[in-house]
Structure 1
Amino acid sequence: MNPDSRIVESDTLNWETWLPEQQTDRGNVFWKTIISSDRTVSQDLTLGLAVIPPGEALHPHQHDQSEVYYILEGTGVMFLGKNEHAVKTGTAIYMPGNALHSLKNTGSKPLQFLYVFATDSFADITYRFNSQAQSNS
């Protein structure tokens, strides 16, 4: 049996971000969750688009689910555990579940990337920032 599919035009979706009082701990990031079972006919996979403005970052955090980033545009630095990696357009990053990670835009243009989780819904993901996040290295 083939699962139902859904076509989503991301430009029809609104950008989301954290509340201003949350940005100190979490960073200045904008995102659109494109595929998620709470929004689309889908299962087993969540896909979204995120943007980090120049000089800003998605601060160190963890979540139970494994995740993949794919850099669409821009340059930055990926921190995965205690390791630091330069990233640019075309870079793919795999983060195992509960891995401490963050992403900083080091360029002069927005850093745009896809994020993918192996879970039904974005609502299944609980982010742990700062004091809630613990290094597993």
Structure 2
Amino acid sequence: MAEKGEACIRNIAEEPWQQFPAHYGGALSKALVHPDTTGSKQLDYRISTYQPMAYVERHVHKVQEQVYHVLDGEGLMEVGDEKRVVRKHDVIFLPPGVWHSIQNTGLGDLTFIVVTTPLTDD
């Protein structure tokens, strides 16, 4: 494995599942590219799997942009005042200042990629 901040190739099995703050009910993620795993300075790239009824609290980012890419399952995505069902192949772009949340309302796991940049809202 490369030193943090250097180019690297990682296998998904190398990163443990974790439940980040404000994520509940089996909302698990693997921080594949993150300051703690690769030393990235501008990018957070995660794969997440939410068990049925799992969710992340409604929240907003001041400067961060996010992209969610649903790989499997279905859930309910709240973007601003709108709630929509999201499924495999849906891609959601969230600019700064938009309140949002996602929860698994389906019968099986909801799996998606989340990309966030920059790393903090400072």
Q: What TM-score range do you get, normalising by the shorter chain?
A: 0.7 to 0.9
Question: Which segments of structure 1 move beyond 3 Å, counting only runs of 4 or more?
Answer: none
Distance in 2 separating the partners of 1:69 and 1:58: 13
Instruction: Report deviation, 1:42.
Output: 3.6
Quick check: 2:6–2:38 contact (8 Å CA) kept in 1? Answer: no
Between the aligned partners of 1:96 and 1:5, the Cα distance in structure 2 is 28
Separation in 2, partners of 1:17, 1:38: 15
Q: Alignment length, in residue pairs? A: 116
Output aligned runs, 1:1-137, within 5 Å: 4-18=6-20, 26-28=23-25, 29-64=27-62, 65-119=64-118, 121=119, 124=120
**Change in 2 beyond 3 A, CA 1:38/1:55:** closer
d(CA) in 2 for partners of 1:55, 1:32: 19
Cα distance in 1 for residues equivalent to 2:40 and 2:53? 35
Secondary structure, in 3 states, of the residue corresponding to 1:60? coil
Unaligned runs of 5+ in 2: none
TM-score, scaled relative to structure 2: 0.82
Identity %: 25
1:5-61, Cα deviation, whole Å (9 max, x unpaired): 22111112111114xxx6xx6433111110123321544322001111112222211
Q: TM-score, normalised by structure 1?
A: 0.74
Structure number having the greater helix percentage: 1
Question: 1:71–1:89: 8 Å Cα contact kept in structure 2?
Answer: yes
Cα offset for 1:63?
Answer: 2.2
